[in-house]
Amino acid sequence: MWLWLQYHGSHFVLAALVEVALCQRPKVASPLDCFLSGPVRLCGSVFNMYDVSDRAFLAFSVDYGYVSRCSEDKSLLRRALLQRRDDFVASGAALAAGSALTGSVTRLLLECPVDHIIAAYVPMRGEPDPIAGVAAAGRVLALPVVCGRDQPLVFRRWRPGDPLEEGLWGTRHPPASCPSVVPSMVLVPAVGFTGSGTRLGYGGGFYDRTLPGLSAPGSRVPAFAVAWECQRVDALPTEPHDIVLDGWVTEAGFCRLDLTGPSGLS
C-alpha cells in the first residue's frame, strides 16, 4: 500500500493506492483520479503503475473524510473479475468445477429444513449453475423475476424442465402462471466476493433492494453468494446500501458467516 499525504492551506490531502487480490506483475502506467469528500480533498492525480485490470482504488477511511469513488472502483474491479471468469470458463476448468459446485450447494442445503424454499437463478455469462444442487438436495426451487430498473425482484416457484420466459437484460424467468413465493434462503450470483461476505454484482442493485424486504421483523432470510473460487478477492469497495451476505458457495465448498466470523469451509 502506498500513501501520499500533503498539506494545502487548511486541508490535508490523502491519496491511497490499495492493492487488492488481483495481483500480477507491474504493467503500463494508467492515470486514475481519486476524489476525496468532506474536508479531505485531492489535489492532482494519482498514477496507478499497474494495469487497471489488476489494481483498484478502494474506499479508505480517514479522520474527517474518505475516498469517495466507490462506483468507479466497482466498475474497474467488475471488468477485471468478469474477464477472469471468462478466462476460467474458456480454459475448460469450469466443466469439472461445476460438478464440485453442485456438491457444495447440495451439502449447504441439506442443512436446511426440507420444506425450505430456495431461491436460485438461471446462470448466464459464465456464472456457475446452482439449480442442480437445489434439485439434488430435494428442496423447493424458486427463480427471480426482474420487474424493471430500480425495482425489487420477485420470486416464482419453478421445477427443472419447466418452460422459462425471456426477461429483461438477458435474464430468463418462470412464466406468470407459476406462483409467487417468499424464499427461505437466497443463492445470489456474484461477480466477486470476499471472505467477510461482501459481494460485487453487476451494478443494478437488485439484490440489495430485494433482500431486506424478504425478512420478517426479528428474522433474516439468509443469502449466500455463488461464484467460482477464482472470483474471490481480499477486499471490495462498499457503499452504505451494499448488503453483507451470510456466506458463500464455490467449487471449493461453502462457508457460513456469523457475527464473530466465518464458521469454516465445508
Q: What is the pLDDT of residues 19-41, one digit of tens each?
A: 334 443 333 333 333 322 222 22
Distance CA 52, CA 229 (A): 21
Q: Which pLDDT band holds residue 73 (cuts at 50, 70, 90)?
A: confident
Distance CA 20, CA 234 (A): 6
What CATH superfamily is the domain 70-256?
NagB/RpiA/CoA transferase-like (3.40.50.10420)
Distance CA 219, CA 229 (A): 30
Q: Which pLDDT band holds residue 211 (cuts at 50, 70, 90)?
A: very high
Q: What is the pLDDT of residue 52?
A: 34
pTM beyond 0.75: the answer is no
More confident residue, 95 or 2: 95
Q: What is the pLDDT of residues 84-125, one digit of tens each?
A: 999 999 999 999 999 999 999 999 999 999 999 999 999 999
Phi, psi of 156, deg, nearest 5: -120, 140
Which residue is associated with the grid cell 424458486? 142
Distance CA 164, CA 209 (A): 24
Q: In terms of C-beta density within 10 A (0-12 exposed, 13-18 middle, 19 or more buried), how is residue 195 classed?
A: middle
Q: Where are the domains of the chain?
A: 3-59, 70-256
Q: What is the pLDDT of residue 219?
A: 84
C-alpha pair distances (Å), 55 with each of 103, 228, 229? 33, 20, 19
Q: What is the pLDDT of residue 56?
A: 37
CA atoms within 13 A on the CB side of 193: 24
